[in-house]
Amino acid sequence: MSKVVAIVGATGAVGVEFLKCLDERKFPLKELRLLASARSAGREMQFKNQTLKVTELTERSFDGVDIALFSAGSGISKKFAPAAVKAGAVVVDNSSAFRMDAGVPLVVPEINPEAIKTHKGVIANPNCSAIISITPLWPIHKVNPIRRLNIATYQAASGAGAAAMEELVDSTRAYLDGRDYQPKVLPHPYAFNLFSHNADVDPVTGYNGEEAKVIDETRKIFGVPDLRISITCVRVPVLRAHAVAVSFECERPITPEEVRAILAKAPGVRIVDDRAKNYFPMPKDASGQDDILVGRIRQDLGDPTGHTIALLSAGDQLLKGAALNAVQIAELL
């Protein structure tokens, strides 16, 4: 049955990807509404062979809407999602506003699609780093439960939005031209540099907000509240697609061959693991791809018991890390 779908934050980086996903996946649309702030109202955007006009987001924007895809920040979600639900829409929210609400399902369709049935009007889309980190791990966890995760992320500019992507391009051009460039979006120079993720750091634990999200959300999605997780999130000068290095310890001994066999059949995952050519997952290959690329699958030599595997993954932050995952949820709805 065709649906009336609204995109909140349609002009942003994720909003643009929503349009592409809905088109490419042939989502059954009766009507598509593009919503954004007052300053973007009136802007025209292309969808299939149509020119659609962006309208200002208000609490009355959701009359007759079946599904509302939100990607405009947690403040906007908290303010307008209740209005959308009251109007009868199901909200799929890409912000952090509702992720850890006990009454809101946090969903990765390849992992816990059944959680959608428990929604009360809002379904949360997980953090992009969490999705890219754990989607390849779930099929392994089902066979041989994971007891501990050690994660390092290498996160692209796209995770901070279109303005950060533009800043990376502009600062790189300035660096190559020998010109000074003062960052405005991110706290440190971005060209030919990397730095700890710019989320606020908890003065007690030393972990930043991005790291806390991955820890909390992984435990919720996996349904393992005491899962042991350590993580370091780093911002790297890549336009889009995050890379993640993971070492995971299983309940029983496990081999790289077993992991490859499991992942070869896993939905949403593609193995890129050519040791002879030293070719493994890279952001350049993951960009624009629906699948999460996984490789460098090897025994973790730091664990002589054989319970631990190390691997590297890369996934498009704007697609599987955001828009694609939300559209997959909408498809399940």
Question: Are both 154 and 182 inside the same structural domain?
Answer: yes
For residue 153, what is the domain's CATH number?
3.30.360.10
- Alpha carbons 288 and 7: distance in angstroms, whole number: 20
Strand order in the sheet with 308-315: 195-196, 228-235, 146-155, 242-250, 308-315, 292-299, 269-271
**Confidence grade of residue 56 (pLDDT, cut at 50, 70, 90):** very high
- Per the structure, the count of domains in the chain is 2
Identify whether the C-beta of residue 210 lies closer than 8 Å to the C-beta of residue 130. Answer: no
- What CATH number should be reported for the domain holding residue 70? 3.40.50.720
Tens-place pLDDT, residues 272-294: 999 999 999 999 999 999 999 99
150 and 280 in a single domain? The answer is yes
Q: Which residues are catalytic?
A: 128, 242
- pTM score of the predicted model: 0.94
Are 121 and 212 found together in one domain? no
pLDDT digits (tens, 9 = 90+) for 230-263: 999 999 999 999 999 999 999 999 999 999 999 9
Is residue 45 predicted with pLDDT exceeding 90?
A: yes
Residue 49 has pLDDT above 90, yes or no: no
Backbone angles phi, psi at 192, to 5 degrees: 55, 40
Q: How many CB atoms lie within 10 A of CB 274?
A: 10
pLDDT in tens, 6-30: 999 999 999 999 999 999 999 999 9
Same domain (yes/no): 270, 176: yes
Contacts of 140 (CB under 8 A, 6+ apart): 146, 248, 250, 254, 259, 262, 263, 309
Does 78 have pLDDT greater than 90?
yes
Domain hosting 19: range is: 3-126+322-332
